[in-house]
Structure 1
Amino acid sequence: MEKKGTSRSNKNLNSEISLLQWAILIGTCLFLFIFPFQIALFNGFQLTFEGPLLESMIYAFILLVIVGIRYLRTWQLNDYRSILSITVMLLPIMYLISSINAASSYNAKIMLQLEFMYAAFFIIGLYIASSKLHQGIVELSIQISSYAIVIFGFMNLFGQTYFNNALWLADNGYRLTSVFQYSNSYAAFLVAIFLGALFSATHTKQWYWRAIHSFMLVPIWISLMLTYSRAALVFIPILVLIILPFMKIGKQLSFLIYMFLAIVSSFAILSKITVAADKISKLLDPASQSGKTLSLWNSIPLEGWGLLLGVSVVLMLLISFFHHKLSHLLETSTIKFGQTKWSFFAVPILFIIVGALAAVLVFSSSGIRGVLPQSIADRIESINLEQHSVLERETFYRDALKISADYPLTGAGGGAWSALYEKYQNNPYSSNQEHSFFFQTLIEIGWIGVVILFGFIIWVYYLFIKAYIRNPELRGTNLLFFIISLSILAHSIVDFDMSYGYLSVLVFLCLGCMLAPLHKELLIPAFENYKDMKWRIIYPISISLLAIVLFTMVYREYDANLSYQRALTMAIEEKKPLNELLPTIDHAISIAPDNPEYTLRKMNWMDQAFNSSQDPAYRQEFKRLMDQLKPFAPYNRSLLLEEYKYYKNVGDSAKVLQVLDEAISKSPWDMNFYEAGIMEYFIAGQQQGATDSEDSNINWNHSLDLYKEVLDHIEHLKSLPAGQLQGHDFTVTPLIRQAIGQIFYRNKSYEDAYNLLKEDIAGDLSNETVRINVRFYLASLHAIGQNDEELLNKLIESDENEKTAVQQLIDSQ
Structure 2
Amino acid sequence: MVQPNKKKAKNQHVQEKDNLYENQILTVENVIFAACLMMIMIAPYFRGLFFRENYYIFHLITAGLFIVLLVKQFFSKNINLPNRTIDIIMFGLPIAFMLSFIGSVDPGMARDEIFRNINYVLIYYILIITIKSNKHQIIVLNSIIILGLWVSLFGYGVAMGSWEYKDAVSWESTPMISSVFQYHNTLASFLGATILVALVLAIRAYYDENNREKNTLCSVYAALYLGITTILISVFLLAHSRGALLVFLLIYIITFILVPLRDKIIFLTFSAIAATPSVYVLMKSNEIMVASYQANILQQNTIIPNGGWATMLVAAAIAAIAAFIYTMIILHFKKDLKKYRVLQIATIVVGILIIFIGINIISDKVSQDIGSLENIINRLEAFNNIQDNSSAASRIVFYNDSIKIYKNFPILGAGGGAWQALFETYQSYSYWSRQAHTYYLQLAIEAGTLGLIALALILISFLLISTCLYMRYKNNRNQYIIIAAIVGCLMLMSHSFIDFNMSLSSYAMIVWVLFACIFSKNWLSYENQSNNTANSLIERGKNNKLISLLNKDIFLGKRSIFLLKLGCVLVFVLNALPVAAINNARKAENLIMQGNYMSALNYLQKAQNNDPLNTDMSVYYAEYLYSIASIQKDQNIRKAQQEEAETILENLASRLPYSTLVKVKLSELNYKKGDMDRAKRELESAMSIAPYNSDIYNQRIIMGYQIAEEKIKNGLQTSVRTELEDVIKYYNKIQEIKGILETKQVKGGAERHFDISLQALLHVAKAYYLVGNYEETIELNKTVIKDINLVEESTNLNAAAYYKLGDESNYKIWREKARVKNSNNLEKIDEIILLPYIK
| Structure-2 change in CA distance of 1:742 and 1:27 (3 Å) | closer
SS of equivalent to 2:240? coil
Residue 624 of structure 2 aligns with an amino acid whose one-letter code is: W
Note if 1:675 corresponds to 2:698.
Answer: yes
Q: TM-score scaled to structure 1, two decimals? A: 0.81
The aligned counterpart of 1:514 is 518
Percent same amino acid among aligned pairs? 19
Provide closer, same or farther for how the CA distance between residues 675 and 88 of structure 1 changes in structure 2, counting only shifts above 3 A.
Answer: same
Q: Matched residues in 2 for 1:170 and 1:492: separation?
A: 24
Residue deviations 1:183-222 (CA, integer Å, cap 9, x gap): 2111111111112212122222433321211111221121
Q: Distance in 2 between matches of 1:690 and 1:132?
A: 85
Cα distance, 1:170 vs. partner? Answer: 2.8
- How does 1:63-212 map onto structure 2 within 5 Å? 63-68=65-70, 82-129=84-131, 131-173=133-175, 175-204=176-205, 205=208, 206-212=218-224
| Aligned residues of 1:796 and 1:803 also touching (Cα < 8 A) | no
Aligned match for 2:751, one of 695, 706, 727: 727
Aligned with residue 554 of structure 1, among 575, 582, 596: 575
Q: Does 1:311 align with 2:334?
A: no
Match status 1:714 vs 2:738: yes
Q: Quick one: which of 632, 636, 649 aligns to 2:672?
A: 649
Counterpart of 1:34 (choices 42, 46, 56) is: 42
> Following TM superposition, by how much is the alpha carbon of 1:743 offset from its aligned partner in structure 2, in angstroms?
7.4
The correspondence for 2:267, drawn from 245, 249, 255, is: 255
CA distance in 2, matches of 1:65, 1:805: 72
Indicate how the Cα distance of structure 1 residues 6 and 685 shifts in structure 2: closer, same or farther if over 3 A, else same: closer
Paired residue for 1:293?
none
Provide the rounded CA distance (Å) in 2 between the counterparts of 1:363 and 1:717: 43
Structure 2 Cα separation of the partners of residues 530 and 265 of structure 1:
45
The residue type paired with residue 64 of structure 1 is: F
SS in structure 2 at match of 1:719: helix
Report the equivalent of 2:486: 482
How far apart, in 2, do the equivalents of 1:452 and 1:101 lie?
Answer: 18
Q: Deviations over 1:446-505 (max 9, x none)?
A: 232123213421331233124423552562322211121111111121112111111101
Q: 2:621 aligns with which of 596, 602, 610?
A: 602
Q: How does 1:401-550 map to 2 (within 5 A)?
A: 401-469=403-471, 471-472=473-474, 473=476, 475-519=479-523, 520=526, 535=556, 537-550=558-571
Shift in alpha-carbon separation, 1:140–1:736, aligned structure 2, 3 A = closer
Question: What is the CA distance between 1:252 and its match in structure 2?
Answer: 2.2
What's 2:596 paired with? Answer: 577
Superposed counterparts of 1:621-770, under 5 Å: 621-680=644-703, 706-721=730-745, 723-724=747-748, 727-733=751-757, 754=775, 758-761=779-782, 763-764=784-785, 767-768=792-793
Work out which of the residue numbers 589, 606, 629 in structure 1 matches 2:608: 589
Q: Distance in 2 between matches of 1:252 and 1:312?
A: 23
Q: Distance between the aligned counterparts of 2:339 and 2:404, measured in 1?
A: 54
Q: Contact conserved, 2:419 with 2:434, CA < 8 A, in 1? A: yes
1:217 aligns with 2:221: no
Shift of 1:736: 5.4
Does the CA contact (< 8 Å) of 2:106 and 2:418 recur in 1?
yes
Which secondary structure does the structure 1 equivalent of 2:480 belong to? coil
Per-residue deviation at 1:568? 1.9
Q: Aligned to 2:156, what secondary structure does the other structure show?
A: helix
Separation (CA, whole Å) in 2 of partners of 1:435 and 1:533? 37
> Structure 1 residues 476, 266: CA separation in 2 closer, same or farther (over 3 Å shift)?
closer
Matched residue SS, 2:84: helix
Counterpart residue type for residue 380 of structure 2: I
- The match for 2:344 is none
**Cα distance in 2, alignment partners of residues 534 and 714 from structure 1:** 60
Distance 1:319 1:148 in 2: 21
Greater shift after overlay, 239-248 or 514-523?
Answer: 514-523
- Deviation per CA, 1:763-813: give whole Å up to 9, x if none: 53854467557856886xx6xxxx755444445544477579669878x88
Task: Out of 87-96 and 145-154, give the one that drifted further.
Answer: 145-154
* Count of residues in correspondence between the two structures: 763
SS of the residue 1:31 aligns to: helix
Is the 8 Å Cα contact of residues 414 and 444 (structure 1) preserved in structure 2?
yes
Residue in 1 that maps onto 2:211: none
What CA distance in whole angstroms lies between the structure 1 residues aligned with 2:550 and 2:291? 69
Task: Say whether the 8 Å CA contact 1:419–1:636 is kept in structure 2.
Answer: yes
* Cα deviation digits, residues 516-571 of structure 1 (max 9, x gap): 22331555779799978984555443332221111111122222222222222233
Q: Measured at CA, do residues 157 and 87 of structure 1 come closer, stay the same or move farther in structure 2, by a change above 3 Å?
A: same
Change (3 A) 1:553 1:16: farther
Alignment RMSD, CA only? Answer: 4.5
Contact 1:156–1:167, Cα closer than 8 Å, also in 2: yes
Q: Are the aligned partners of 1:369 and 1:377 in contact in 2 as well (CA < 8 Å)?
A: no
Instruction: Work out whether residues 735 and 769 of structure 1, in 8 Å CA contact, stay in contact via their aligned partners in 2.
Output: no
Structure 2 counterpart SS, 1:409: coil
Letter in 2 for 1:426: S
Give me the whole-angstrom Cα distance separating, in 2, the residues matched to 1:7 and 1:233.
49
Cα deviation, residue 510, structure 1: 0.1
Alignment match, 2:821: none
Is the CA contact (8 Å cut-off) linking 1:757 and 1:774 kept in structure 2? no
SS in 2 for 1:170: coil
- Contact 2:625 2:645 (C-alpha < 8 Å) held by counterparts: yes
Specify the alignment match of 1:292 in structure 2. none
AA matched with 2:308: G
Per-residue CA shift, 1:651-695, capped at 9, x if unaligned?
A: 1012111211122123322323212324545676895999997x8
The structure with higher relative contact order (CA 8 Å, sep 6+) is: 1
Instruction: Decide whether the 8 Å contact of 2:461 with 2:550 is kept in 1.
Output: no
Q: Give me the whole-angstrom Cα distance separating, in 2, the residues matched to 1:636 and 1:657.
A: 16
User: Against the structure 1 CA distance between its residues 116 and 103, is the aligned structure 2 distance closer, same or farther, given a 3 Å change threshold?
Assistant: same
**Which stretch shifts more, 466-475 or 260-269?**
466-475
Q: Partners of 1:476 and 1:257 in 2: how far apart? A: 17
CA contact 2:492–2:511 (8 Å) conserved in 1: yes
Query: How many Å apart are 1:125 and its aligned residue?
Result: 4.2
- Give 1:29's aligned amino acid: L
- 1:134-188, Cα deviation, whole Å (9 max, x unpaired): 2122222222232222233333334444333323323433x22222122211111
Moved more, 305-314 or 699-708: 699-708
Q: Distance in 2 between matches of 1:70 and 1:286?
A: 56
Q: Secondary structure at the match of 2:181?
A: coil
**More off after superposition, 106-115 vs 700-709:** 700-709
Quick check: 1:720–1:726 contact (8 Å CA) kept in 2?
no
In the alignment, the residues of structure 1 paired with residue 251 and residue 419 of structure 2 have an alpha-carbon distance, to the nearest angstrom, of 29
What does 1:332-351 correspond to in 2, within 5 Å? none
Shift of 1:648: 1.0
Q: 1:491 to 1:10 in 2, by over 3 A?
A: closer
CA contact (8 A) 2:219 2:327 kept: no
